[in-house]
Structure 1
Amino acid sequence: MATSLRAVRKVYTGHKQREGGGFIVRRALGGSVPLCDPFLMLDHFGPITYAPGEALGAPDHPHRGFETVSYVISGEMCHKDSQGNTGNLGPGWVQWMTAGSGVVHAEMPSENTRKHGGTVEGFQLWVNLLAKDKMIPPRYQDTPPDKIPVAMTTDKRVVVKVIAGESLGTRASISTRTPIMYLDILLTPGSEFTQHVPERYDGFIYVRGGKATIGKVDIEFGQTAILAQGTDVKIENHQKEECRLLLIAGEPLREPVVQHGPFVMNTEQQITQAIEDYRKGKLGEIPGADERRRETEAAKRTQKSTGTWDRS
């Protein structure tokens, strides 16, 4: 089968904005950076080091019609939802939440992080669902780091964490409704790596550390490269420092997208119904919502008193 290298269609530098309870994210995909079907958004939060009492999360909020993928690099996060699910995610954990017909959930810093502070960094990716799957029951996959396969080139100069899809003959343990790949790639200085990406996939690369070269295009920390069509992508690291990046690609759904905040459907009528269902409590609720809001407001006040709010 003939192969062709994917070029870079365009490079974007995502802007910073506040999300959740007020924490800063870099919007790597979505907003001013065009969508890459089937992906709706990629946010990079941190790295930020919190002092005791400063850590912020995302108190109770709803979702319907898509999937959220949370990937923790450092720090700890506690999640709860209106289905009764609860758990703690630490460094290296991945949570794949299929919101489907709708769920209310909260993503808060762990008690340890709230009390003692620490460095927090991670990503949240939004993956769209087909129209026929938008109202399926909610589902969680919480995957610890020891269950996420790691592959390595024979010279050991490139390391790939296979969150979804396949790389270097290693297949991910996480199952996805939409065919996608989600790779966290480390390139040592002077190394290069070629990854097969199915020709039918659309995809992008986000550099989370260092600088990478794709073809003749350099992409640095905080930048997103939208990939052109092809069968493979070749990534090079010409720097003296390591390069870390996310390669994310998937099969486009090619369906209408109508989004209103945390709801992503196919028509305006479906969005109106989602808002009405949420207001009527049909997506459920989580005990302790008032306490989580109080914790968030207290963390904001602490940040503002120490100056962290203005520096973040």
Structure 2
Amino acid sequence: MPAVTVDDWTVLPRTVAARPNAEDRAPISVTTAPQGYEGEGFPVRRAFAGVDPRHLDPFIHLDQMGEVEYAPGEPKGTPWHPHRGFETVTYMIDGVFDHQDSHGGGGSITDGDTQWMTAGSGLLHIERPPEWLVAKGGLFHGFQLWVNLPKAKKWLPPNYQDIRAGEVGLGASHDAGALIRVIAGEVDGIKGPGSTNTPMTMVHATVSPDAEMTIPWRPDFNALVYVMNGDGYVGQARRPIRTGQLAVLGHGEAITIGASRTQEGRHATLDVVILGGEPIREPIAWAGPFVMNTRAEVLQAYEDFQKGKLGTIPSVPHAEIQGEYLG
């Protein structure tokens, strides 16, 4: 996978193996994501399906997009759609996604890039592969995470962060058996570039076969481990996990993840997304593309959308606007 890496993991900053008397986070549950389709028909795994929302807070939704090999003419995206009250975090591993919104934001992400969109008070949004990729086809793989906003921040002006693959914080486990990419937050002094409205950490880790990593984790954060590919285990009791499964971890100060000696044929390593955040602990009213605190606020969001208050679809594609600026 082309997400950011280095040839020699041993040159990276190392995380501690384990702090004295640190409590390891044991898994509370392991669930398997059901498969479905999103947007114009691209395949997804619904990582949070069937999980108690109290264990997910401040996170709302996580889709693994793909992994799928498209033939020419097959790549798909989403039509224009509204959002209000939360943030979308799109992490692209393979392929290219173009983003555009009704406030003039957007851009392209590929091969380890992240686009962090604060929907806030509301906007219209579209995600799609560029036309040249639709004609060519190719591998498509990524994630989209929805991060809730507290009531006091749900009306923030819409905003984008473009996080390039080369900007993420890089580190290795204590014996360099695992590569750690910190997209947001901090892991043992390794900081990610993402600026968050909700205190949180987002990590993509690659664990070599038969290797184990233990990383410190803030005890006031929850802890979620999603397997994008591979076979391995979580916790000191070595609870098995595999592709498409989410482990919810209990209280503690450290996370242990290990990879099985033998991995699946297509992928030589175990790759996981590790998420943690400070729970917001506020009422959630969620319907479609709106995440608010009350049902009345959700109904108001639908009414505002129908009245055009969330913006209008731009007449000029964002890619063409960028081309004019660059030209």
Same fold (TM over 0.5): yes
Partner of 1:6: 25
Partner of 2:103: 83
Letter in 1 for 2:151: A
1:298-309 alignment to 2 at 5 Å? Answer: none
2:45 to 17, 26, 42: 26
Partner of 1:276: 303
Aligned-residue offset at 1:168: 4.2
1:104 to 124, 140, 145: 124
1:117-136 alignment to 2 at 5 Å? Answer: 117-136=137-156
Aligned-pair identity in percent equals: 42
Structure 1 residue matching 2:43: 3-state secondary structure = strand
Structural RMSD (CA)? 1.6
- Is 1:247 paired with 2:274? yes
2:192 to 167, 172, 181: 172
Q: For 1:176-228, what per-residue CA distance to the aligned partner results, in whole angstroms no more than 9, with x for missing partners? A: 11111111011111111111111111121001111121223100000001111
Q: Is the 8 A contact 1:182 1:246 kept in 2?
A: yes
Relative to the length of structure 2, the TM-score reads 0.85
Distance (whole Å) between structure 2 residues aligned to residue 258 and residue 224 of structure 1: 24
Partner of 2:320: none
2:217 to 189, 197, 208: 197
Partner of 2:321: none
Aligned-residue offset at 1:148: 1.2
Structure 2 residue matching 1:115: 3-state secondary structure = helix
Q: Is the 8 A contact 1:60 1:289 kept in 2?
A: no
- Is 1:232 paired with 2:257? no
Structure 2 residue matching 1:274: 3-state secondary structure = helix
Partner of 1:156: 176
Q: Is the 8 A contact 2:209 2:261 kept in 1?
A: yes
Task: Report runs of 4+ in structure 1 exceeding 6 Å deviation.
Answer: none
The answer for unaligned runs of 5 or more in structure 2 is 1-19, 264-268, 318-327
Partner of 1:146: 166
Aligned-residue offset at 1:143: 1.0
Partner of 1:262: 289
Q: Which moved more, 1:2-11 or 1:61-70?
A: 2-11
- Count, aligned residues: 289
Distance (whole Å) between structure 2 residues aligned to residue 7 and residue 151 of structure 1: 24
Q: Is the 8 A contact 2:285 2:295 kept in 1?
A: yes
